[in-house]
Structure 1
Amino acid sequence: MPLTRRQALASGLALLTLGGGGYVFWAASRFPPDTTPEGAYLRIAYNLSQGDARTCFHYLEDSAQHAAYSIRDYRKKASERIAQAYPEPERTRLVDAYRTHATAEDGADVWVDLATKKGFVTRLRRDLSGMAKVEIVGERATVETARGTRYGFRRRENGIWGLTLFTADLVAESERAARDWDIVERAAKDYERGR
């Protein structure tokens, strides 16, 4: 008897996580498009099973991606300003603290660092399983796994569905970086006036 689409997707994920190297690629090449919640979810699961958290960045919603880029930009500006105006040893301490995000190539590098440090990757690896149900309401979707975990997705501007699970954390970190930048700029002006 042929499998339903949902059964095929659920069993496809099991093959991805349990199958051998060549078969994993074969199964991964038959994903639904990432313009469906199922396709985005399966790509996240596949990339995590391959140890590739960086590629998962492409399957976060737009707000989360923008926040990661903002973190990088604020940390870079703050580091440059600190290097110009702060005295030692505070200069070295703060530049070192901001280095990872300030020198990140892009938002995906910031995501990988935060996802590793804050346990996002571990959380996803522990909870991902085959899909039991997908509900789509307008621009939002929920993927419910066989384990009963529910993952929210939002349709991105480019049509790809993005995971919403970590958006609040990334936006909060971006807001913290913006506040830090303001403090750094004020302190830098004070240091310059004091010279």
Structure 2
Amino acid sequence: MTRRRAIAWGAAVVAAVALGFALYRFLKFPPDTTPEGAYLRIAYNIGGSNPRACFAYLEDRAQHAAYTIRDYRRKASERIEASYPEPERSRLLDEYRAHAEAEDGADVWVDLATRQGFTARLRRDLSGIAKVEVTGERATIETARGTRYPFRRRENGIWGLTLFTAELVAEAERAARDWDVVEKAALDYERAR
């Protein structure tokens, strides 16, 4: 091998390594401890039809609400199963089944995101990041399309989307009220026997 050929091969290897490093840095997501990183992970997972993975990027209150929904629906289903007469039993069990049998809060999130159109809304509006505003524990991502997404820093340092928190908390409160109604009705059914 000639010296000129060895230098050419060496330069090609160095260029390939440099290109590989540049591509890696370009394609790598920012950490999810930044609003940009959390937003990009949501966009990636919504684009890949994996809304379950987005659950990790919801704020703490939204995640807690999803678990609360699951717990109340499970408790209500157990009480209905034990005390309600037919056809009321079957009707309510069918209504609560998706959330009562959910493995965790992420399954509740997926069901609500699908039924209430959260996923479709995100899919329609997600685009590149135009601007990021961070104020203390809150941040807003403005997309190239002008849509604004609010985030809050979670206890674990990851930024969580707050866009659906109010709806998830309202659903958790509804599940708690439903549990109270189910319990009162179950006691009435038991007294009537």
Q: Which residue of 2 aligns with 1:55?
A: 53
CA drift at 1:29: 6.0
Q: 1:20-40 CA deviation, whole Å, 9 max, x = no partner?
A: xxxxxx789600000000000
Give distance in 2, aligned partners of 1:78 and 1:127. Answer: 36
Partner of 1:180: 178
- Please tell me whether residue 138 in structure 1 is matched to residue 136 in structure 2: yes
Tell me the SS of whatever aligns to 1:144: strand
The equivalent of 1:16 in structure 2 is: none
Gap regions ≥5 residues in structure 1: 1-25
Please give the alpha-carbon distance, in whole angstroms, between the structure 2 residues aligned to 1:29 and 1:82.
51
* Residue 94 (structure 1) shift: 0.5
Over residues 75-127 of structure 1, what are the superposed CA-to-partner deviations in whole Å (9 max), with x where a residue is unaligned? 00000000000001101110111000000000000000000000000000000
Q: Give the conservation status (yes or no) of the 8 Å contact 1:28–1:46.
A: no
Q: 1:78 aligns with which of 67, 76, 83?
A: 76
Q: 1:22 aligns to what?
A: none
Alignment-derived partner of residue 99 in structure 1 = 97
User: 1:154 maps to which residue?
Assistant: 152
Partner residue of 1:87? Answer: 85
CA RMSD of aligned residues (A): 1.2
Question: Number of residues paired by the alignment?
Answer: 170
Contact 1:153 / 1:161 at 8 angstroms: preserved in 2? yes
Measured at CA, do residues 28 and 191 of structure 1 come closer, stay the same or move farther in structure 2, by a change above 3 Å? farther
Name segments (4+ residues, structure 1) moved above 3 Å.
26-29
Q: State the distance in 1 between where 2:89 and 2:116 align.
A: 26
- Tell me if structure 2 keeps the 8 A contact 1:68–1:170: yes
Distance in 2 between the 1:96 and 1:83 partners?
11
How far residue 189 of structure 1 moved from its aligned partner, in angstroms, is 0.4
Partner of 1:23: none
Cα distance in 2 for partners of 1:27, 1:175 equals 44
Conserved 8 A contact 1:79-1:102: yes
Does the 8 Å CA contact 1:37/1:143 hold for their aligned counterparts?
yes
Compute the displacement of 1:43 (Å): 0.2
Q: Distance in 2 between matches of 1:113 and 1:58?
A: 15
Q: Percent identity?
A: 77
**C-alpha separation between the residues in 1 aligned to 2:92 and 2:28?**
47
CA offset digits 1:5-32 (Å, max 9, x no partner): xxxxxxxxxxxxxxxxxxxxx7896000
Query: Is the 1:135–1:143 Cα contact (8 Å) retained in structure 2?
Result: yes
In structure 2, the gaps of 5 or more residues are 1-23
Structure index of larger Rg: 2
Q: Secondary structure at the match of 2:133?
A: strand
